Amino acid sequence: MERVAIVTGGSRGIGRAVAERLAADGQAVVIGYAGNEVAAKTAVAAVEAAGGRAVAVRADVAEEGAVAALFDAAEQRYGGVDVVVNAAGVMVLGPVAQLDLDDLDRMWRTNVRGAFVVAREAARRVREGGAIINFSTSVTRLSLPTYAAYAAGKGAVEVLGPILAKELRGRRVTVNSVAPGPTATDLFFDGKDQATVERIAGMSPLERLGTPDDIAKVVSLLAARDSWVNGQTVFVNGGAA
C-alpha cells in the first residue's frame, strides 16, 4: 500500500526538500502551505516532474479547523495518512530585553500552538506503522544570542515528542523531532550580512552551512515504516553542537 505524507511548510526551504525526498521515496505527498500559492504550486510541479504524486492544500497550522481540513484532503485524495512532517515555522530574532511581544506571540502561535494542533490531529489519524516528525532547532544547544524566543518555543516541541510517543503505544507510530543546525534557507539568510553567515557556517567542524537536502535525508530515515527510532530529537548540524 502506498504511504501518504503530509508536510506542513512544504512549499519552501527545508519543508520543500522534505516533500521532494518523501515523494522520491515513493510516498504521495500533501504539501501544506500558509499563503504563498505560487511557491506551493512550484513545489507540486517539482514533485510531479520527478515522477511523484503531490497536491498543495492551504492551511494555517494554528487553526484546528484548517488542520482537520488538511488531513481530510489527504484522506479523500489518497486514502489515508501515514507520515506527518510539521516543518511550518516562523523565526523572529532579537535580544530578550528588546523583543517585541507581538513577535513572540506570532512565533509561538505557529511554532508551539501549530505544532501541537498538527500533532494532535496526527495522533488521531495516522495509520498504524506511521510516523510523526516535528521540527526543533540546534539552537536549543548552541544558545546563540538573539535566538531565545525562537529556541524556547522549539524546546516545547522537543518535550512534546517523547510524551506523544508513549501515548501512542500499541499503534507502532513513531514520534520524533529533527533539530537542524544553520541551514541555507531564506529563513536563515534573512537579516544576516555575509560576515555573520560565514561566522555561523564556521561553527561546524565541517565548515559549511547545512542544506535542505541534508535535513530531508534524516526525515526520510525517520519516516520509514516501522522505524526503531522513537521519542528522540535528532540533531543535524554538522557537529556544531
CA 215/CA 183 separation, integer angstroms: 9
Query: What DSSP character marks residue 103?
Result: H
49-53, 107-111, 160-164, 191-195: range with lowest mean pLDDT: 191-195
Confidence of residue 237 (pLDDT cuts 50, 70, 90): very high
- Looking at residue 73, its pLDDT comes to 98
Whether 188 shows a pLDDT value over 90: the answer reads no
- Looking at residue 186, its pLDDT comes to 84
- Looking at residue 190, its pLDDT comes to 81
Amino acid at 175: V
List, in sequence order, every residue forming a beta bridge with 33; answer none if it has no partner: 58
% helix / strand / coil in the chain, to the nearest 5?
45, 15, 40
Q: Residue 85: enclosing H or E segment and its boundaries?
A: strand 83-86
Query: What DSSP character marks residue 130?
Result: -
Distances from the Cα of 46 to the Cαs of 38, 60, 80, 143, 179, in angstroms?
12, 23, 23, 36, 25
The mean of the pLDDT values for the chain is 95
Q: Residue range 22-40: average pLDDT?
A: 96
CA 15/CA 219 separation, integer angstroms: 10
Amino acid at 176: N
Q: Residue range 60-89: average pLDDT?
A: 98
pLDDT in tens, 97-146: 999 999 999 999 999 999 999 999 999 999 999 999 999 999 999 998 99
Distances from the Cα of 103 to the Cαs of 15, 75, 142, 182, 236, in angstroms?
22, 34, 22, 21, 27
Report the catalytic residues.
Answer: 150
| Helix spans in 168-224 (H) | 186-189, 194-201, 212-222
Query: What DSSP character marks residue 87?
Result: -
Distances from the Cα of 82 to the Cαs of 75, 108, 225, 236, in angstroms?
10, 26, 9, 23
Q: Which domains does the chain have, with CATH numbers?
A: 4-236 (3.40.50.720)
- Looking at residue 226, its pLDDT comes to 85
Confidence of residue 50 (pLDDT cuts 50, 70, 90): very high
3-state secondary structure of 33: strand
Query: What DSSP character marks residue 211?
Result: -
- Looking at residue 169, its pLDDT comes to 97
3-state secondary structure of 180: strand
